[in-house]
Chains A and B, each alone.
Chain A
């Protein structure tokens, strides 16, 4: 089956535009049509989505007690100015 308008090589260059919702409607339609036929590009897109999710797991929410204590000291110094 031929998918003439947007090929795999082009798709990998515009996936971020797609995921960011910054693609003109017509191009987006072409891309979605391509995806519907192309398992390989589906795999590629799914891997990119997994990459984004996994990158999000690097987040830590703690600055550590020492840094926190140092910041409190900054605050108390300022308050006592």
Chain B
């Protein structure tokens, strides 16, 4: 969560303190945004050491540009946008990735239904379009589901997603950002953001289902 779209009073104060070179203001911002900036960088570059470099580079850019920051977006949005841009550039430079402009488009147009069609009754059936093989209950409350193993299943499922879906689900469901914030930082339309989120959540649910019901 990036703390709103306009500069709040506390952000304005932090910004002022940062401009004066106040180290406490800096560490406050690092504690607030550091982990999510790192995770954002990791979506693009994967290697943790490289991602940490990207985050350092981003902070340096922020500090150097701090006089010019006009507060039209929240500090958090600004910081993450810088990280995303630097991480993209870095990933392209290291030639380990496809051009990012192409990614979201391809992911959005990815064909295929959310659930395999054979799990529903066919068109000739009186109950056409209703479950033929319905979902089986997971039968456990959340607190029993939260285990290192379950988390590993989710992490692996997210890693296996196409990049744009991975970015969106990480920011929305891991970081807890709003749809608007994700659209801003990743430069996505509202509709495409939702399509990518839908694909990603559907696949992660399926991975959990396979694991929990042993199918």
Contacts and interface: CB of A to CB of B under 8 A. Distances in A.
Interface of A: 7-10, 12-13, 15-17, 20, 22, 38, 40-41, 43-44, 47-48, 50-63, 67-68, 70-72, 74-76, 78-79
B135 A43 contact: yes
Contact of B34 (A15, A55, A58, A68): A68
A58 B138 CA distance: 20
A69 B174 CA distance: 25
B208 interface: yes
B64 A71 contact: no
Given A20-B194, A51-B204, A55-B154, A63 B135 contact: no
Given A44-B135, A58-B154, A71-B55, A16 B38 contact: no
A13 B63 contact: no
Q: In which size bucket is the chain B interface? A: 35 or more
Given A47-B208, A74-B63, A40 B134 contact: yes
Nearest to A22: B194
Interface string B32-74: 0011001000000000000010011001100110000000000
Contacts of B150: 54
Question: Nearest 5 pairs between A and B by C-beta?
Answer: A7-B129, A16-B198, A40-B134, A55-B173, A9-B129
Contacts of B142: 50, 53-54
Nearest to B213: A47
A75 to B, nearest CB: 5
A8 B169 CA distance: 24
Nearest to A16: B198
Given A55-B169, A70-B56, A12 B151 contact: no
